[in-house]
Amino acid sequence: MATYTATINWQREKQATEQTDEQDFLSNQYSRAHNWHFDGGVTVPASSSPHIVPLPMSVEANVDPEEAFIASLSSCHMLFFLSIAAKRKLIVDSYIDNATGTMGKNPQGKMAMLKVVLKPTIEFSGDKQPTQAQIDKIHHLSHTQCFIANSVNCEITVE
């Protein structure tokens, strides 16, 4: 078993007077910008999604949790795909996934990620070129082995 960590750091921005500062926070008019710190030393600027909390309280350029969720599913799937392809002696030159996620109300009436669609474009080289059926099988195996996909309950498809 492995344990993974992340440190999430948010600080309230100080205004000219403490009274203004408190009022902005209590009226829900505060910045959602924060940082994710990972054990390897990488810091990722994060924020709420502007779809959830309007600008300027959100920072559109920062990564939001919903985007990170989609990216983690796509990345996990890709890493298994590359590993399986290598074991099958298939040379992958590039793998680009324009993944999307759809949020909405789940059957319990709560907001949730309802569906994630992975849309990878993969380029192979070498004499051994896979058939579409072989690629589909590698995607299926990648999905069943992906730790992140095994941890969520939304629909995940590959196009």
28-75 residue pLDDT tens: 999 999 999 999 999 999 999 999 999 999 999 999 999 999 999 999
The pLDDT-based confidence of 19 (bands split at 50, 70, 90) is: low
pLDDT tens for each residue of 117-154: 999 999 999 999 999 999 999 999 999 999 999 999 99
Superfamily of domain 65-158: K homology (KH) domain (3.30.300.20)
Which segments of the chain belong to CATH 3.30.300.20? 1-63, 65-158
CB 73 within 8 A of CB 148: yes
Superfamily of domain 1-63: K homology (KH) domain (3.30.300.20)
Residue 13 pLDDT greater than 90, yes or no: no
Q: pTM of this prediction?
A: 0.91
Helix residue spans in 116-158 (DSSP H) = 132-145
Amino acid 103: pLDDT: 96
**Cα–Cα distance measured from residue 148 to residue 77, given in angstroms and rounded to the nearest whole number:** 8
The pLDDT-based confidence of 14 (bands split at 50, 70, 90) is: confident
| Mean pLDDT lowest among 11-25, 102-116, 126-140 | 11-25
Amino acid 33: pLDDT: 96
Let me know if 24 is exposed, middle or buried by CB neighbors in 10 A (0-12, 13-18, 19+).
middle
